[in-house]
Structure 1
Amino acid sequence: TSRWMPSVDVREDEDKFVFLADIPGVDPKDIEVTCEHGVLTIKGERKAETEEEREGYKRIERSRGTFYRRFNLPDTADAEHIKANSKNGVLELTIPKVEKAKPRKIAVKS
């Protein structure tokens, strides 16, 4: 199987990070998203047509096979609450930012 690499846009909003990956023709059940040690991994497979389905083609340009992308997440990303949706050939991953620690006053004892 050949490898291909989907294009991915990454946006940072005030309260979240959004990853948008172009994956047309990929069944959501063939996608795996994991996050370990601050590294987000997106992998999956766009399945090739069978010989029967390829019959009659004069040209095949669309990539098939497995794909794999990795991204280092910033410390402000809340990896425990990642949401993933696939719609119209785009995988959208939403990663909220961790709640900012509220400053607190520390009493100094004498």
Structure 2
Amino acid sequence: MTHPVRHSRGGLSAALHELDDLRTRMDQLMHELFPLGGHPELGTAVPWAPLADVVDTEDAYVVEMELPGADKEQITVEVTEGELDIHGEIKEKEHAGVVRRHTRRTGQFDYRTTLPPNSDTEHVSADLTNGLLTVRVPKTETGKAHRVEITG
């Protein structure tokens, strides 16, 4: 028996995008449930996910992530099994006075996204400038979609 195929622009890329959106929404839900970054009964910190844009350019996938106050020594960028993982910690700043309102994120963070098959994971670069982490994942020709001629 055949099943209808759900056509979406981008094929596998669109499906991966939908999964990343779902992961982002789940992260947001966790942060709404535990706004102070931890489970009140367990006393454990729950990593938060920084705000990020993923841009598909002609020759690379570019992740731009907001990490104000982050120190590059406290950030780790890893690529394993087709997944980009960015994690680290933003230390809370010492204040001389009494903090009346605290809304900036501090503590451990974790951001993960699935990379498309044509990602060149051997040549990933990362740059942190003015609180913006830019991770560039070049594209390869391998895994690139191409049209197949029908013969006969």
When the two structures are superposed, what TM-score results if normalisation uses the length of structure 1?
0.82
What SS does the corresponding residue of 1:29 show, helix, strand or coil? Answer: helix
The aligned counterpart of 1:90 is: 132
Report how far residue 72 of structure 1 moved.
0.6
Unaligned residue ranges in structure 1 (runs of 5+)? 102-110
Greater percentage in helix: 2
Q: Distance in 2 between matches of 1:32 and 1:62?
A: 21
Q: Distance in 2 between matches of 1:49 and 1:25?
A: 9
How many residues align structurally? 100
Higher relative contact order, chain-length normalized (CA < 8 Å, sep 6+): 1
1:70 aligns with 2:115: no
The aligned runs of 1:1-110 (5 Å cut-off) are 2=37, 3-50=47-94, 53=95, 55-100=97-142
Amino acid in structure 2 at the alignment position of 1:21: M
What SS does the corresponding residue of 2:122 show, helix, strand or coil? Answer: helix
Q: Distance in 1 between matches of 2:140 and 2:79?
A: 15
Runs of 4+ in 1 over 2 A off after TM superposition: 1-4, 53-56
Report how far residue 100 of structure 1 moved.
4.8
User: Structure 1 75/54 Cα, relative in aligned 2: closer, same or farther at 3 Å?
Assistant: farther
Greater percentage in strand: 1
User: Structure 1 76/54 Cα, relative in aligned 2: closer, same or farther at 3 Å?
Assistant: farther
User: Structure 1 54/70 Cα, relative in aligned 2: closer, same or farther at 3 Å?
Assistant: farther
Unaligned residue ranges in structure 2 (runs of 5+)? 1-35, 38-46, 144-152
Q: Distance in 2 between matches of 1:54 and 1:61?
A: 17
Q: Which deviations, in whole Å up to 9, do the C-alpha atoms of 1:65-108 show, x marking residues without a partner?
A: 0000111100011001000000011000011101358xxxxxxx
Identity within the alignment, %: 35
Q: Distance in 1 between matches of 2:108 and 2:85?
A: 13
Aligned-residue Cα RMSD (Å) equals 2.0
Report how far residue 54 of structure 1 moved.
5.6
